[in-house]
Amino acid sequence: MKTKIVTTTSLFIAISVLSSGCATLEDWKSKLEEPAKPAKKTTFVKAKPARKASNQLPVPSHNKAVSKSMTLAQWHAKFQEDDKAKTRASHDNPYRAIQQANREARRSPNKPGYFNSIMQYDYEPGALFQVYTAPLRLTDIQLRPGERIMGKPAAGDTVRWILGVNESVANDQIQQHVLVKPTRAGLNTTLYINTNQRTYLLELSSHPKTFMAAVNWRYPQEELNTAYNAARAKQERDSSTLADNVDISRLSFDYRISKRSGSPDWTPTQVFDDGKKVYIRFPKARANSEAPALFIVTEEGDQALVNYRVKGDMYIVDRLFQQAELRVGQKKQAVVNISKHAAKKSFFNFST
């Protein structure tokens, strides 16, 4: 009985496989016998030119205030305006303005500024000079010799800071010192010192060990002004003196000055010689006008240029002459004649 079941099952599977195979072969045969379908017609479309590159930038979706058609230049200008608006907002904020001003005004100690243990600041009006101190250590704030404190130094915290004023002598002048000492570390305060020459603004801070032994100042602007004034004074002295090795006993003022054409404001006020050179003195108004050229009139009546140099308000001619002309201009000339006459001692010989 068992053997019969197996045989029936095997027979069923064989019939199924054969049926499937026959169906498959029939399907392929029918497909091969079908007539071929015509190929689909290909349609060509005219190509469109590519768009030119644009300088427009994509606009973030969150920035609704910016137009999507904004160009690169407009985009840049927009952000610049935004930055300016932020800057104006920070300037309009008094707290930020004060903090920024104080931060930029601070002057801190640096290695190039030190001379031995003395920190030398360059004085600037309104600068906040930083002074580092430590408990049980004195910091000496040295003023300029000859400078005097007006009133008393004023500190923001006079309870936890100890202040004192002392004096010494430097270059035969009294020099005042302000001595500072904190009672403990971690303190901060301000110190103002008013003198007969300037005001010092200082910020004091105390630290466990680090401290500045002494602080003083250089005054570059005043040093520059002093040097400028000294140079100017020397120039004025030089302009008011004659050349070196001038023999005063041989000075001759026998020259006549006359205006030939025009009314120049540079007409000389004095002409004289020392036997070797001729000196022509001009008024101070000549500094504001064109300098005249000097010509020597020869015995034949010709005019020739002559060597001379300018010293202050004078022309110094390196030779003697009998007649000369000072000229300015081309078409409308201003001419002044200078002529030598017989020996006659006079300090002033001016004629028009």
Is 265 within a domain?
Answer: yes
pTM, entire model: 0.50
**Number of independent structural domains in the chain:** 2
Residue 149 and residue 183 in one domain: yes
Is 238 within a domain?
Answer: no
Range of the domain at 213: 105-222
Residue 210 and residue 258 in one domain: no
pLDDT of res. 305:
85
Share of the chain above pLDDT 90, in %: 44
Phi-psi region of 94 (alpha: psi -120 to 50; beta: other; left: phi over 0): alpha
CA-CA-CA-CA dihedral for 63, 67, 68, 70, to nearest 10? -110
- Select the more confidently predicted residue: 210 or 234: 210
Is 78 within a domain?
Answer: no
**String of b and e for 199-224 (b: at least 16 CB within 10 Å)?**
ebbbbbbbeeeebbebbbbeeeeeee
pLDDT of res. 5:
47
| Domain stop point among 188, 222, 256 | 222
Match 């427009």 to its residue by tokens: 56
Is 43 within a domain?
Answer: no
CATH number at residue 125: 2.60.40
CATH number at residue 301: 2.60.40.2500
- Residue 350: pLDDT above 50? no
H or E element that contains 259: strand 255-261
Residue 312 and residue 211 in one domain: no
Is 22 within a domain?
Answer: no
Is 23 within a domain?
Answer: no
Query: With the C-alpha atoms ordered 183, 186, 192, 198, is the resulting torsion angle positive or negative?
Result: positive
Is 236 within a domain?
Answer: no
Is 294 within a domain?
Answer: yes
Structure tokens of 207? 């630290």
Phi-psi region of 172 (alpha: psi -120 to 50; beta: other; left: phi over 0): left
